[in-house]
Amino acid sequence: MADALRVAIAGLGTVGAGTVEVLQQHADLIARRGGRAIQVVAVSARTRAKDRGVSLDGFEWYDDPVAMAREASVDVVVELIGGEDGPAKAVCEAAIAGGKHVVTANKALLAVHGNELAEAAEGAGVSLNYEAAIAGGIPIVKALREGLAGNEITHVYGILNGTCNYILTEMREKRLSFETVLEDAQKLGYAEAEPSVDVDGFDAAHKLALLASLAFGTQVSFDDVYTEGIRHVSLQDIDYAEEFGYRIKLLGSARMTEHGLEQRVYPCMVAKNAPIAHVESAYNAVVARGDFVDDTMYQGRGAGAGPTASAVVADIIDIARGFATTTFGVPVGELRGAEASPIERHRGAYYVRLMVDDQPGVIADISAAFRDESVSIGSMLQRARSQTEAVPIVLNTHVCEEAAMRRTLNRIEALDSVVEAPTMIRIESLV
């Protein structure tokens, strides 16, 4: 058997400690599968004294992770610090410059700096592996880069954030408000104390930018991902979605269109009979559509010590085997710069909820706004008349261009009878 693969780990949080645990617990199995032993020999974290539930005996300790990446006598540096800049970026740069392979779970870093890091890794002849950066334990990077390599990918989409999926599931099943479920999710550890990266869609957008590059052979373009979160989704909207035959999910979706590469993250309604509608709680799922395989769906836990560490270890085993491939599926010099398709060019159906003073002529005024922008109403619901409170008017539209939908809603919001900003949620056909 070949000499052991020597590994350094920067960051010993949940995933870092989980990675050590997997490598220790399955050492013999991993050696057989990788063709050589894999040994952690150096680690770095903020504090030494913390009990992480795993033995760190025999590891060389570095207070400075960048110094470890630069100086440790290792073959692979695993970056699990997090953050799009700072020490995480410096660790990867130092490792690559030193001719060491890099494994990372850092989607934010790669979404922002992936192109330059991939170019540096390719120039140094080392691997930059990141299976754990997208959807936890789901092997979607391998699926797109290897398993589906013979297909032209036409659409990739999925539930990419477990926190949001958990919140939307709990709201529907337990009939609770967004604020109540978010507070519960924070207590359970599903959501951070400052949850904006998750609930405002940025975590999913980081992952989608990487998926789009893998799927379409384009440069990573995080700034071109249109992003909305789930804060505005109410229990009312979830109930109406059920009535119309839909479930609300935060989806990330990327496809190549006649207007350019469309990358978007937003809450949307999907038909109840769609497979992805049944992915619940903190689970993630990704669907990749290829011209020869049609739809392939990958589902599993999208976060946590076990699933994410599993993906990290799989990347390390690939390096042990000597398996190397390009970071985003093709050489960096062949990644295309794709024009971004603006959200205004999106075409689809829409759900709209209006809160209005129930008075004569309201429906006529609303219908006129849709007529004037050539947006066709599919169906409409109006609840019981109230003399003292605003009442909801709920409708869905036929397929139209988003620019026309936005102009329609601007007209409606200006009506005296409309008492709050309209709520709009896109309806995804997923075909």
Instruction: Annotate 326-380 with three-state secondary structure.
Output: CCCCCCHHHCECCCECCHHHCEEEEEEEEEECCCCCHHHHHHHHHHHCCCCEEEE
Pairing of strands 101-104, 2-10: unpaired
pLDDT of residue 345: 95
pLDDT of residue 384: 67
Composition of the chain by helix, strand, coil, percent to 5: 40, 25, 35
Close Cβ partners of 157 (under 8 Å, ≥ 6 residues apart) = 251, 252, 253, 254, 276, 286, 287, 428, 430
Segments of the chain scoring below 70 in pLDDT: 1, 384-388
DSSP letter (8 states) at residue 218: B
pLDDT of residue 388: 61
pLDDT of residue 302: 85
Beta bridge partners of 36: 2
- Domains recognised in the chain with CATH numbers: 2-133 (3.40.50.720), 140-301 (3.30.360.10), 346-428 (3.30.70.260)
Close Cβ partners of 387 (under 8 Å, ≥ 6 residues apart) = none
Pairing of strands 36-44, 2-10: parallel
Rounded to 10 deg, the angle between the 14-25 and 305-321 helix axes is 60
Quick one: which H or E segment has residue 79? strand 76-79
Listing from the earlier edge strand, what are the strands of the sheet with 128-129?
A: 60-62, 36-44, 2-10, 76-79, 101-104, 128-129
Question: Active-site positions?
Answer: 207
Q: What angle do CA 186, 190, 196 make, to 5 degrees?
A: 70
DSSP letter (8 states) at residue 63: S
- Conformation bin of residue 11: beta by default, left when phi > 0, alpha when psi is -120 to 50: left
154-180 confidence digits (pLDDT tens): 999 999 999 999 999 999 999 999 999
pTM of the model: 0.94
Q: Report the C-alpha gap between 224 and 265 in whole angstroms.
A: 11
Q: Please identify which residue in the block is written with the tokens 């129930």.
A: 358
Q: Which contacts (CB < 8 Å, 24+ apart) does range 66-72 have?
A: 66/90, 66/91, 66/94, 68/8, 68/10, 68/42, 68/43, 68/44, 69/8, 69/10, 69/94, 69/95, 69/98, 69/100, 70/94, 70/95, 70/97, 70/98, 72/8, 72/41, 72/42
Assign 109 to helix, strand or coil. helix
